[in-house]
Structure 1
């Protein structure tokens, strides 16, 4: 019988839904200090074991199929088998964005759900390194990771944090390579611009931006965040205004540039920035502006990013998430990566494109990700998940790895 046929039989002949319910209960709700609760938990564990043994006795891949049914839905299991037939290998590293990927402000109270944390622990115990790849500051990320996963796991030597979208990499337990400050390798042409913008971005800002935004505590990038709930109408209004202000300030920091140069350059590069300029009454025709070569040479090295109702940011193009991930993989000793990359924004898209170009992994995104990210993910393996449900894809990857072990 072909493996697809046996997988059909698994989900047709056994009550996989109830089996998963028992598995989730045993995994996610450990017994508390209560005799009744402990007895119920032990009974669930015994029932889980019996049901798995029944499956194990019915198929040549018995133990693996029992794990598939206990952790993955029918759709997830068949997706995993399709992925295995396409790539013939399992995932050997996770590369994960945090905000609006692992956690979602609108769905999970901005906390990483228990199910997602559990599967991260499952991959860790299976020896799969985890790279957290985020635009957030290092201290923020360390805080919620330790709270969610525990200090021992985060400091195990198999977890790396690419922070500020690639300006630094923190991998506890690796001696002199524990913290790599990648921005220290940049030359004065770029660092002088960042120093100027950073020193002026709040003191010189219009009152509406000073009152409505704060400067994220980055080591290198300059990021304005709203003093309102992310995604709210107030946040969108102030971040749109801040985007125009950042472009004007950047023009003053780059020798020989003016506001028309920066607006034309970044409007041509990013349709979202072009739209914001139009909405703010600052629209410009990039084709009508001649940006001097010397100015363009500097702007080519500086990334301006707009995140709707979330942030206006300048960063180095030479220090992006791809550079950070490559550095993290080097420290972790992952020489032949086949990564599961999960993210929602254009900075994550670069990592997704990198793994696609190098046949080095899979890409997954939440349904509310940016249009370009969704286009890429759907054009690859269509691993799109609901907001707050990152564990759906992690379950699929779990199933893929079980199949790859056969």
Structure 2
């Protein structure tokens, strides 16, 4: 069989894998099969500058068409892969085209969770945010809406809420748990973000159980809560997280557990099939985790390419994320798992850091309007430097950037 790689997906992880293969001298055919009509593009700006109309779809593209032509990377757009035949190593698309592979990379990403039909009743004006098409629909809806309800207090929901407020809409954020950012941040960070939205006139309703949505002439008109409250709404954004697209992998007989299970080199239970990106469940900190982030997509795509090239490198990430809301930028470095303490450090009004510790050692930090500390923390975590809690409690330790000086030792 001719040596070639087929990548199912055209997201950031898929592109990272393809580019690393070519940059590392891989001479076999590289084919990317994507179900969207776009070349690989950036998703984070969709709920930020793109939704605000400050950039266009073509400017979201990660590489121009000429790049793929020059690099010998075939991108088949609008190609929905429906099956994988492991015995003859081939994939088949919806339009019955077949592609043979020597190595297969599944980068099927994730999709937005939706509310059950019994709750939405097929009403118009109930939207999600994941793709360019979603953002286009939401932008058109925001141009007409006056009352917006955001269901879900995660990054995407909060970012859209801030844009809607700036557009002059009446916005209410509904969160089922006891605080926003429940899965990704600690209570002090959540409190700061909630206060930010309230200051801008967007109330945050926590511990709010969604009862149902009502409509008028086929369009949503209200959101009912378990408490009996009815929130008027011309537009409802459902931002309750993402689901890994694992159906193809499951039908192929691969191990699936919240994502497609891989080992530290990105390989699945099938020796010739690899996974990268939002859909991958990989070992981290003694458990399987799944990350939806630019950092994870880029780095995991490269890890998979290295494994295909016969140069395996274990994936040991330092996760990082960011979110723009109003005039505030929230950035995270590290992963706040099993932490037992949080230390809030305020440098000046509007600029702060929330450090997470496990057994006295820093494992993550959230910063607000403090890019310097964020970048310094990424370097420290990446270098596996042990940053102890007592060090940050010193009077002159207002920012971990204090410690990023050669030779970068924290034991002095």
TM-score strictly above 0.5: no
Flag the structure with higher helix content.
Answer: 1
Flag the structure with higher strand content.
Answer: 2
Normalised by the length of structure 1, the TM-score is 0.31
Q: Determine which structure has greater relative contact order: mean sequence separation of CA pairs < 8 Å that are 6+ residues apart, divided by chain length.
A: 1
Normalised by the length of structure 2, the TM-score is 0.31
